Chain A
Amino acid sequence: MNLAINEPWELELPSTRTVRFVKARTALRWWPVAILLVAAFAAAFPFLLAPLNPDITNLSARLEGPGYSAGGVRFILGTDNLGRDILSRLIWGVRVSVVVATASVLVAGGFGGAMGIIAGAQKKILGPVIMRVADMVLSIPFFLLAILVVAALGPSVRNLVIVLALVRWPRYARVAYAQTIETSKREFVQAAIALGARKLRIVRRHILPEVLPPLVVVATLEVGLMVVYEAALSFIGLGVQPPTPSWGAMLSTGQEFVSTAWWISTFPGLALFLLVVAVNRLGDLVRDRLDPRGH
C-alpha cells in the first residue's frame, strides 16, 4: 500500500484530465450520480439493503465462495474468515468509507483552500507563514502524526476525520495558493483593481471561480486516497474499531486469504474502484460545468 504523501501522479493531473473523448450531452454522462446516489442510500439506510446482519459470525460457514447457501440462507457474495456475509458487510461498510472520505475531504479542502487563498492574497507576511506551516505538515510522516493524534484523542470516526484533514489540507493549500498567485497576475484582476474593487470582492468574484475547479479535481482524487488511508488506519487499529465493517478493513483481512478466498478482498476492492471512479467522473462533470469555455 503506497502511503507516500507526494505521489508522482499528483503533478500531472490537470493536463491528463483535460482530455475529452465524449462530448455528447446525454443523460448517460451522469451515470456517476446514479452510483453515488446508491452509495449514499446504502450509507444512510444499510438495514434496508443488507440481506443479513453483517456482524453475525458463523464458524461453520467460514470462507465459503459466492452463491453459497446453507440452511435456507444465501450468501450471494460469499463469507469471510469468520463466516460473515460479505454483501451485508459491504453494504454496511459504505457508511464508514463515505462518511470518513467525504467529511475529511470537505474539512481538508475547505480549510486548505481557504488557507491557500489567504496566503496568495496576503503575500507579505501571512502568506509565507501559512505556506511554511503547510510544508512542515507535509514533511511529518503520516503514520507518526496519525498515531500521535489518535493516542491523544482516542480512536473514533470523528478523530479519523480530524487526522486525515490535518494531514491533507496542505495539498489543497498548495493548489489554491498557486492558482491565486497565477490569477492575481491576470489582467482582469488588474482591471478590477483599476475599477476600485476591494481585495475581498476580487477574491470572491475573480479568484474563487478560478481556484474552485482545480480544488474540485484534487478533492475527487483525494476521496479515493482518503478511503485507502481510512482502511490503512483501521487496519492498524487506529481507525474504525471492529466489528464495525469498513471496506478498508475488509480489504486488509482479505489480503491474507487472497489465494484461497479471493472474494473477501475482490468485492470490496471492486466497490472501492467503482466509488472512486464515479467520484472522479463527477468531478470532471462539475469542473466542466464551472468553466463555460468548456475546453
Chain B
Amino acid sequence: MRPVGQANVVAEPVLRIEDLSVCVERDGRSNLALSSVSLSISNGEIVGIVGESGCGKTMMALAIMGLMAENCRTVHGSIALQGLEITSLSARSMRSFRGRRMSMIFQEPMVALNPLMRVGRQVEEVLAIHHIGNRSERRRRVRELFAQVGLSGSGFRSRQYPHELSGGMRQRVMIAVALAAEPALLIADEPTTALDATVQAQILDLLLDIRSRLGTSILFVTHDMGVIAEVADRVVVMYAGQVVEVASVQDLFARPGHPYTAGLLGSITAASSVPEGGDLPTIAGRVPSLEEIPLGCAFAPRCAKVQAHCIDNRPQLATLETGHLAACWFPLPSVGDPRTSATSHSEGGK
C-alpha cells in the first residue's frame, strides 16, 4: 500500500507554492483566477488536486509550468521548485526546467502526441531537447523507458505512429515522454479522464509504480474523488481559485471538514448506491465564473450551512481539531469514530 506519513521528514519539498495569486485579463477587466493558493509536495509524494470544472486546477498546473496564457499573470506569491524560486526566472532558464525538472502529462494522449512522428522519436526528442546522451545512448534510453511504462510487450514497436496505438498505450507513451529526462515533479492534468475504466486503473497503477520505483513526486489533477482515493497521499480541494481544504486522503474521506468536500464525497458515495439511470445527488448550483466569485466565502451561495457571517468574511485555511486544514467558518464536526483515522493525524498539510 501507499506510504502515508512522510510529514516528519524535514526535507526541502520538491514543490512549494506560497500565497500564489494569478490574475486573468478578459475584456479589459481583470479577475483573480487563483487567490492566495498555497501547496507543497514532498519527495515521492502524490498530491491530488480536486475540484469541479472551472475551479482553477489547470490554471495552477500551468502556473507551475510557466505556461499560462498570455492574458494571465502571477500577481503575488512564490513557486519554489526544489528550493529554487521559479516565478522570476528568465524564459530561457524556465525552458531548461520544463521537461527536465518538471514535466506534464496531458489529458488527451491522442492530440498531445504528434501524429506525424513515430512514438520512439517523440521520446527521443525530449532527450535531444535537453542534450542528454548521444544518439545510441538515447536509443537505449528510449527502449528502457518503454519497458518502464509497460510498453515492451507484444504489438508495440517504437517505430509505430500514435494512430496505430490504443488509447492506453498512447497515454503510456505520454508518460514515457514526460519521464524521459527524469523530472523530480510530474504534473498529471486529468491523465485518465479520456480513457475507459479498466485502462484508467492500469494507468493509475503505472503512476503509483513509477512513484515507488523512481521516487517521482506527482501532482495529480482530477475532478474524480474516486481516482483521488486510488492514488493520492494527500489531497488539496480547490474551489473558485482557492484552496478550501488540505488533508491526507484517509482523513479527507473519513472526516471532511469543508462542506464543499463533503458535497464532492457525497456525490461519489451516492453514485455507487444510486440505481442505474437515477439522478446523482450533486451540490446545488454551479462554480462561479471569475467575475462572480463572492467577496466572502466563495462557496457560501451553494453551502447548506451558510450563515450571515460567511457572506461578508472570507475564511482562511485554519487547522481543524481533526488536524487538517480547511477554510471554513463553520467546519463540519467529525463524524464516525475518531479512532479509525487517528493513525494519520500527523499529516497536516503544508
On A, residues with C-beta under 8 Å from B are 186-188, 190-198, 201, 205-206, 209-210, 291-293
Are A201 and B129 in contact, CB atoms less than 8 angstroms apart?
Answer: yes
B residues within 8 A CB of A198?
A: 95, 129
B106 adjacent to A187 (CB under 8 Å)? yes
Nearest residue (CB) in B for A210 is B116
The smallest beta-carbon distance between B144 and chain A, in angstroms, is 18
Question: Of B67, B108, B117, which is within 8 A of A194 by CB?
Answer: B67
For the complex formed, measure the closest distance between the CB of B248 and the CB atoms of chain A, giving whole angstroms. 29
CA distance A191 to B103 in the complex (A): 10
Query: Does B98 lie within 8 Å of A209, measured CB to CB?
Result: no
Q: Does residue B161 face the partner (Cβ distance < 8 Å to A)?
A: yes
Known: A209-B116, A293-B161, A293-B163. A194 touches B125 (CB 8 A): no
Contact of A188 among B97, B99, B113, B178 (CB under 8 A): B113
Q: Tell me if B67 and A190 are in contact (CB < 8 A).
A: yes
Contacts of B177 in A (CB 8 A): 191, 195
Q: Please give the number of chain B residues whose Cβ is less than 8 angstroms from any Cβ of chain A in the complex.
A: 27
Choose one: B98, B112, B116, B126; the contact of A187 (CB below 8 Å). Answer: B112
Query: In the complex the two chains form, is B116's CB within 8 Å of A195's CB?
Result: no
Q: Could you tell me if A293 and B115 are in contact, using CB atoms closer than 8 angstroms?
A: yes
17 other A-B residue contacts (CB within 8 Å) besides A191-B112, A196-B100, A196-B126: A187-B106, A187-B108, A187-B112, A188-B112, A188-B113, A190-B112, A191-B177, A193-B98, A194-B67, A194-B103, A194-B104, A194-B106, A195-B177, A195-B178, A198-B95, A209-B116, A293-B163
Q: Determine how close the nearest CB of chain B comes to the CB of A205; give it in whole angstroms.
A: 7
- CB neighbours (8 Å) of B178 from chain A are 195
What is the predominant secondary structure among interface residues of chain A facing chain B?
Answer: helix
Residue from the set B65, B95, B104, B114 with the largest chain A CB neighbour count within 10 Å: B114
Q: Which residue of B lies closest to A187 (CB)?
A: B111
Q: Contact at B96–A196, with CB atoms within 8 Å?
A: yes
Instruction: Looking at the assembled complex, report how far the CB atom of A26 sits from the nearest CB atom of chain B, in whole angstroms.
Output: 24
How far is B164's CA from A293's CA once the two chains are assembled, in angstroms? 9
Summed over the interface, the residue pairs from A and B with CB atoms below 8 Å come to a total of: 67
In order of increasing CB-CB distance, the 10 nearest A-B pairs are A195-B99, A196-B99, A196-B98, A187-B111, A188-B114, A191-B112, A194-B104, A209-B116, A187-B112, A196-B95
Residue among A191, A197, A201, A292 making CB contact with B116, cutoff 8 Å: A292
In the complex, chain A residues whose CB is within 8 Å of the CB of B65: 194
Tell me whether B130 is interfacial, beta carbon within 8 Å: yes
B102: nearest chain-A partner, CB-CB: A194
* Consensus secondary structure, chain B interface: mixed
Q: Is the beta-carbon distance between A196 and B129 smaller than 8 angstroms?
A: yes
Closest A residue to B128 by CB, please name it. A201
B146 CB to closest chain A CB (Å) equals: 17
The CA-CA distance from A201 to B126 in the complex, in Å, is 11
A-B contact pairs, 14 of them (CB 8 A): A186-B111, A187-B112, A190-B112, A191-B106, A191-B177, A193-B98, A194-B103, A196-B95, A196-B98, A196-B99, A209-B117, A292-B116, A292-B161, A293-B116
Shortest Cβ gap from A275 to chain B (Å): 30
State the CA gap A192–B129 with chains docked (Å). 10
Q: Which single residue of chain A is at the shortest CB-CB distance from B114?
A: A188
**In whole angstroms, how far apart are the Cα atoms of A190 and B98 in the complex?**
12
A193 to B95: give the CA distance in the assembly, Å.
8
Q: A201-B129, A291-B116, A293-B163 given as contacts; is B111 within 8 A of A193 (CB)?
A: no
Pairwise interchain contact A194-B98, C-beta atoms closer than 8 A: yes
- What are the residues of chain B within 8 A of A206 when measuring CB–CB? 114
Distance between Cα atoms of A161 and B98 in the complex (Å): 46
Tell me how far the C-beta of A271 lies from the nearest C-beta in chain B, rounded to whole angstroms.
37
- 0/1 string, B17-28, CB within 8 A of A gives 1: 000000000000
Q: How far is the CB of B315 from chain A (nearest CB, A)?
A: 34
A194 and B183 CA atoms in complex are apart in Å by 12
Evaluate contact between B114 and A194: CB separation under 8 angstroms. Answer: no
Complex Cα distance, B105 from A187, in Å, reads: 11
